[in-house]
Structure 1
Amino acid sequence: MKPTRGLYWLESVALATAVLIVAFAVPAHGLSEAFQGKIYTPGPLKPVDSKLTVRVGDVAPDFTLPSISGEKVRLSQFRRRSHVVLSFVPAAWTPVCSDQWPGYNIAKELFEALDAVVLGISVDNLPTLFAWTQEMGGVWFPVLSDFWPHGEVASRYGVLRSDGVSERAIFIIDKEGVIRYIDVHDINERPSLEGILKELEKLKKP
């Protein structure tokens, strides 16, 4: 017998609580022992170094980027199928980035329950992203390279920094392709997983 939708969401809430306890128990610059001695630490950076070119309510600029799986991923392929969480991170092999994406593995079922897919985007090239994500133990969502033309997608969204890396930014795009939430986060800190899930919860139809 399948659980009712009400029971399913009670289970989801309980799982979300467990996820957040684990997620917030990990230091912002902490990670598994697999990364010991392999992470480049840039030191404190200017929190934000770009100017948005989109805003909440805009239709999200479409794009196609190569993924580490070898496939090309187009944003509009998710139209009317899934909400999309664009997660821009500055660079592979750096502390906060190497903690942020593995944290989304813990919440995979919650993203799926909220009809959402995550697309991870970095300006690194494909070989670098492949090696980095393998070292992290893999992630369940597509990891896309905005390497060439360098930072073109980040630039279209207004999150390309003056040093050529992207901001640490979250864009939530609904099933109609409309931007519903933007968080250009302090690059030195990890965005709240709880905050992302709460914003996705708002997109649920009554």
Structure 2
Amino acid sequence: MLQKSSMRKSYPSAYRRILMADVGSAAPDFTLNGAVNQEDTEVSLSDYSGKNLVVLFYPLAFSPVCAEQVPDFNENLDAIRAKGADVIAINRDSTFAHKAWSQELGGVDFPLLADMNLEVSKQFGMALEEVGITTRGVFIVDKAGHIAFKHVENAPPDNTLSAAQVLGELDKLQ
């Protein structure tokens, strides 16, 4: 039988999927620092208790696909909030990088959170430790703090979830 450490080395992607937070399970609680536009912020999952929350994981600021996906969610933020939900985004970039990227994008009105050691990404099963980044994915945490929906992108960005698709998933929670 393989030990966890040898399984992790031999099959890192499979091991990550085993540890992934699953639909129906309690979302891992966390607290991270980050930025909303140019303002520092500290966010905990518990800050959104009683509210649906879209948790967007993305690999890197200043990358082409992320520079399409994050603005898409920002442009649809009012519609998401109208459905009783909010949005946060998590990756391994620093708060400084988030501020610079937000400025380049013309502002992002939801928290971009710095998971520099990938601890939160690991709790959700979203860390690609072998390359030191977060994989792309979307989780919806419901009002009770359970994962109601997840979409994890394991391939090239041909199946990146749009804000419109997330709005459809939020409709199912109403």
Q: Distance in 2 between the 1:112 and 1:155 partners? A: 27
| Structure-1 residue corresponding to 2:80 | 111
| Structure-2 residue corresponding to 1:192 | 162
The amino acid of 1:163's aligned partner reads V
TM score, norm. by length of structure 1:
0.71
| Structure-2 residue corresponding to 1:90 | 59
The amino acid of 2:28's aligned partner reads P
The amino acid of 1:168's aligned partner reads R
| Structure-2 residue corresponding to 1:132 | 101
> What is the deviation of 1:178?
0.6
Structure with greater strand percent: 2
Q: Deviations over 1:146-189 (max 9, x none)?
A: 01xx1000011111012110110100001110100010024532
TM score, norm. by length of structure 2:
0.84
The amino acid of 1:94's aligned partner reads S
Q: Percent identity among equivalent residues? A: 36
| Structure-2 residue corresponding to 1:74 | 44
Q: Distance in 2 between the 1:165 and 1:77 partners? A: 25
Paired residues of 1:96 and 1:188 also in contact (CA < 8 A): no
Q: Distance in 2 between the 1:144 and 1:85 partners? A: 13
Paired residues of 1:89 and 1:97 also in contact (CA < 8 A): yes
The amino acid of 1:90's aligned partner reads P
- The structure having more radius of gyration, on CA atoms, is 1
Quickly say closer, same or farther: Cα 1:187–1:74, change in 2 above 3 A.
farther
| Structure-2 residue corresponding to 1:159 | 126
| Structure-2 residue corresponding to 1:99 | 68
Question: What is the aligned length?
Answer: 154
Q: Runs in 1 of length 4+ with deviation above 6 angstroms?
A: none
Q: Distance in 2 between the 1:165 and 1:95 partners? A: 15
1:5-154 superposed matches below 5 A: 49=13, 50-51=16-17, 52-68=19-35, 69-80=39-50, 82-147=51-116, 150-154=117-121
| Paired residue secondary structure (2:63) | coil
| Paired residue secondary structure (2:54) | strand
Q: Distance in 1 between the 2:74 and 2:80 partners? A: 10
| Paired residue secondary structure (1:70) | strand
Paired residues of 2:58 and 2:89 also in contact (CA < 8 A): yes
Which of 132, 138, 149 aligns to 1:170? It is 138
| Paired residue secondary structure (2:71) | helix
Paired residues of 1:146 and 1:153 also in contact (CA < 8 A): yes
| Paired residue secondary structure (2:133) | coil
Q: Distance in 2 between the 1:192 and 1:102 partners? A: 10
Q: Which stretches in structure 2 are left out of the alignment for 5+ residues? A: 1-11
Paired residues of 1:167 and 1:187 also in contact (CA < 8 A): no
